[in-house]
Copies of this chain bind each other. A is one copy, B any other.
């Protein structure tokens, strides 16, 4: 493998991405030395309470897919990154890099979608930027969205807050976004039945923090790299084993079938409207009841528990057949340009 040039896999949200960030990017910019010290949004000291600040660039292809488009995705992604650090958005940005020749009507449609999603989520696009590049320099449209939020005063979230016995919750079925985009891209005939879960999860996180405050220990949206990447990062960050139970994980049959056909692991497929939350075991049942009231989380479930401290922590899946297998951090790019 060529180690002196960027590979597609460096952008896959898996181990190669983590290596690139910790070995190249962070040392170069003088940031923290380990990527697992990074969270989805930065928390900034502010006079009253804490601010959160996050950024993401979106390069999804195709630009429109069942259940969403790059505009909605950019807004949801940034709101969700703020949400999982316990913040609600004060303002967000949209920065566009547009290919020369891009259809204006399509741009309008994508931005309208972005605006509608922001409005529905109570967020406001307060700043932006527009660049146009020649045809050879970008295929279509790239959107960066950044966001600033105010952290809920009761939020006490972090790897160091995760304890043995804590419950691991998942808000719904896995892989809907990843499989919807892949099927659309490949023109598969069942693509109409596959719909991205692209959604803002701010209501879910706010409801949990409002009810349980510091009993919520960790939250994350399992996007690139899927649940596998989220749990692998959590186990390494918390230095604890994790156990999840396959039969407890909400399943979408169409997604499972498509994943099998394409040879993809649903655990590693991207989601854009799901929440993973870790909280005190005693709060789990009520948390599921609260989450289930929201349409996007009506199939929320406890999928596992946090185990003992370990210097070499593992994520284990108890399979429906009763066996056990280790859930690995995805190595590289399973589904390129999924977000």
- Taking beta carbons and an 8 Å cutoff, which residues of A are in contact with B? 3-12, 17, 20-21, 24-25, 28-31, 38, 41-42, 44-49, 51, 53-59, 61, 90-91, 93-105, 107-108, 111-112, 114-115, 118-119, 125-134, 136-139, 142, 144, 146, 148, 150, 333, 336-337
B42 close to A127 (CB less than 8 A): yes
- Which residues on the B side are within 8 Å of A98 (C-beta)? 6, 10-11
What's the Cα separation between A56 and B44 when bound, in Å?
A: 20
Complex Cα spacing A184 to B191, Å: 48
Copy number of this protein in the oligomer? 2
The CA-CA distance from A10 to B24 in the complex, in Å, is 35
Interchain nearest-CB distance for A108 vs B (Å): 5
How far is A54 from B93 in the complex, measured between Cα atoms in Å? 7
Nearest CB of B to A68, in Å:
16
Which residues does chain B contribute within 8 Å of A44, judged by CB atoms?
Answer: 90-91, 126, 148
- 17 other contacts beyond A6-B98, A95-B146, with CB at 8 A cut-off? A3-B104, A4-B104, A6-B107, A8-B132, A11-B98, A25-B107, A28-B107, A29-B112, A29-B115, A30-B125, A55-B128, A57-B95, A59-B97, A59-B133, A93-B146, A97-B142, A138-B138
Compute how far the CA of A42 lies from the CA of B94 in the bound complex, rounded to whole angstroms: 12
Least Cβ distance of A329 to chain B in Å? 16
A337 to B131, CA, bound (A): 8
Compute how far the CA of A108 lies from the CA of B138 in the bound complex, rounded to whole angstroms: 22
Q: Which chain B positions have C-beta within 8 A of A91?
A: 42, 44, 53
Using Cβ atoms and an 8 Å threshold, which residues of chain B touch A105?
4
A144 → chain B, closest Cβ, in Å?
A: 4
In Å, the complex CA distance between A7 and B104 comes to: 10
**Main SS of the interface on chain A?**
mixed
A6-B104, A91-B42, A132-B8 known; A57-B99 Cβ under 8 A: no
**Cα(A72)–Cα(B165), bound, Å:** 47
Q: Which 5 A-B pairs have the closest CB atoms?
A: A11-B132, A47-B48, A42-B126, A28-B111, A29-B115
For this complex, 17 residue pairs linking A to B, each with C-beta atoms less than 8 Å apart, are A5-B104, A7-B100, A8-B132, A10-B130, A24-B107, A42-B126, A44-B126, A44-B148, A48-B48, A55-B55, A57-B95, A57-B97, A57-B144, A59-B137, A59-B138, A137-B337, A148-B148
User: Contacts A55-B95, A108-B28 hold; do A6 and B47 have CB atoms under 8 A apart?
Assistant: no
A114 — which chain B residues lie within 8 A by C-beta?
28-29
A6 to chain B: closest residue by CB? B102
Instruction: Report whether A139 and B137 are in contact in the complex, using a CB–CB cutoff of 8 Å.
Output: yes
Residue of B nearest to A146 (CB): B146
CA separation between A28 and B150, bound complex, in Å?
26
A57's partner among B20, B129, B336 (CB-CB below 8 A) is B129
Partner of A111, one of B29, B133, B137: B29
Bound complex: CA of A105 vs CA of B139, how far in Å? 25
Q: Which residues of B lie under 8 Å from residue A7 when comparing CB positions?
A: 100, 132
Kindly report which residue of chain B lies nearest to residue A339, judged by CB atoms: B131
C-alpha spacing A103/B128, complex, angstroms: 29
Known contacts A132-B10, A148-B148, A90 near B46 by CB under 8 Å: yes
